[in-house]
Amino acid sequence: MRIEDADDDPGLPVVALAKEYAHGTRVPPHAHRRAQLLYAITGTLRVTTEAGAWIVPSLRAVWIPPGVEHGFLIAGDVSMRTLYVDSRKAMVPDAGRCRVVAVSDLLRALILAACDERGDGDGGRVALMSGLILSELARAPEVPLSLPMPRDRRLAALCRALLDEPGRDDTLEGWAERCGASARTLARLFRRETGLSFGVWRQQARLAEALARLAQGGGVATAARAAGYGSPSAFSAMFRRALGETPLRYAEGAAGGPGLTARPSPPGGEGFPPRGSGGRTGGR
C-alpha cells in the first residue's frame, strides 16, 4: 500500500505515503491524478488553492479532489501521512471540493497502518484496510477551517499577508494605502470575491490560527493572542459560539482527551462568528 513516488496505482483504491517536513517548509503548487487526504500526526498545515485556504491542525485532515492545484506551508515539524484515493470508489460528501474533516481514532489508526504496509504485504489485509478507510472517509464530519481566497491580485496579497501574520491589527484603510486602492474599493472587492467583509474574513483567519495553536499544545491565552484577543475570556466566549465548545475542551481533544466533537460546517463559513461578535477584530 505504501509508495515512495507515484500516486497512481490502478490496482489499489487507496495508496499511502509517509513523509517528514521541517517547520517553515513551503511546498509549491502541484496537482495529483487521484484525490488526496493530507493528515499531519504533528504540526499544522496551511493548504492553499486559487479558491481558498484551509488550516489543518492535528486531529484533522484535508480532502483535495483530483486535479486541483494546491500548495502548502508547514507550521511546526510535521509528520505527514498522505492517502491517494481513487475518487471513483470514494463515497465522500462534496468530493469535488476541498474540505477539512475530523479524523476518528479508527481512521487515524488505519492511516498509520496503511503507511506502514509494505508493497509485498498481505493483499487481503490491504483490501480490508482500504475498504475501512473508504468507509471512514464517507462518515468523516467536516469542520469549519476554510477561508475563501479572492482572485484580485491586491486582495490575494493582502490575504496571504494576514494568513502569515493573523494577529496584525492594521485597519482596512492601512491596507488600502499599501495596495494602491481606496478602502471603499477593497471593502467592495472583499464582499464580491469572498462573500465576507474584511473584518469577518480576518476573524476567520485568526480563529483558524488559534485552533492550530491549541492543537500544537499552546494554552488558551496564547491562542487568544494569536486570534487578536486581549482577553482570554472574550476569546473563549467567541470560540464557544463559533464551534460549540470551549477552547480548553478542544485542546484536551488535541492532546488525546475527550475534546471536541466536530460538527458539520454550515455553507459559506457560517460556522465562524459574525462581525462584531466580540474581541477586537470586528469593524476593521
Residue type, 245: E
Provide, for the chain, the percentages of residues in helix, strand and coil under a 3-state DSSP scheme, each rounded to the nearest 5: 40, 20, 40
Residues with Cβ within 8 Å of 64's Cβ and at least 6 positions away in sequence, in order, are 32, 35, 36, 37, 38, 47, 70, 98
pLDDT above 90: residue 137: yes
26: cell is 513551503
Element (H, E) at 239: helix 232-243
pLDDT digit string (tens) for 66-77?
999 999 988 878
Task: Give the model's pLDDT for residue 66.
Answer: 93
First to last CA, the chain: 50
Taking the whole predicted model, whether its pTM rises above 0.85 is answered as: no
Within a 13 Å sphere around the CA of 223, how many CA atoms are in the beta-carbon half? 26
Strands 70-75 and 44-48: antiparallel
The whole-number average pLDDT for the span 102-120 is 87
27: cell is 511546498
| Contact predicate 264/141, CB 8 Å | yes
Task: Give the model's pLDDT for residue 204.
Answer: 82
| Contact predicate 254/210, CB 8 Å | no
| Contact predicate 77/43, CB 8 Å | yes
Task: Give the model's pLDDT for residue 72.
Answer: 92
Task: Give the model's pLDDT for residue 19.
Answer: 92
Task: Give the model's pLDDT for residue 136.
Answer: 95
The whole-number average pLDDT for the span 21-35 is 91
Domains in the chain (CATH in brackets) are 14-139 (2.60.120.280), 150-269 (1.10.10.60)
Element (H, E) at 44: strand 44-48
Q: Which residues pair with 36 in a beta bridge?
A: 64, 84
| Low-confidence winner among 19-23, 110-114, 177-181, 257-261 (lowest mean pLDDT) | 257-261
